[in-house]
Amino acid sequence: MAKKKQREREERYRRHGVERPESPQREIKAAHPDDAPAKGKGKSGSKSRSSAPRGRKPVPYPTLRRSLIRAPIFGLMWFAISRFLLSGASRTINEDLTQAVILTAAMIPLLYFADKVTYTLAKRRDQPVGEPGPDGWLGFKR
């Protein structure tokens, strides 16, 4: 029976999709398959553990189009929050709207940069990434 610490380590490996490090004893057993115990003595119906990564959606290539779509959503949410939760009776709708427009304009390059960092990190970690389209970083169809 596995100890608590061993069970927790195995659970961490499964949760994060990390392959287990090979121990010298396993390498020796793999080198001599004729010494391996006979199959069929384990639990019946047990699932085999696969070290293959789970199916993940590829990280999309960063485009300005995606940032231009997300920024107004953020702006609308900010306007609603500032108008109904944060502003007092002394502020007008125009002031809240101006603030939301300025923050929306500031969010466009920030969202693009965040997408670019995410894409670069996924590429470094050998995770699935989307290929750039024919229009490159703009993402608009010609």
Owning domain of residue 90 = 64-124
pLDDT at 101: 95
Whole-structure pTM over 0.75, yes or no? no
* 95 in a structural domain: yes
Distance CA 134, CA 137 (A): 9
Q: What is d(CA 3, CA 14) in angstroms, rounded to the nearest whole number?
A: 17
Whether residue 116 is contained in a domain is answered as yes
Position 99 in a domain: yes
Residue 136 lies in a domain: no
- Tell me whether residue 71 is in a domain: yes
Per-run averaged pLDDT (10 residues), the chain, 142 residues:
82 78 66 57 48 71 91 94 82 89 95 94 91 76 64
In a domain, 77, yes or no: yes
Amino acid 53: pLDDT: 55
Residue type at 130? Answer: G
pLDDT at 17: 74
Structural domain count, the chain: 1
The pLDDT value given to residue 115: 94
Q: Is residue 68 part of a domain?
A: yes
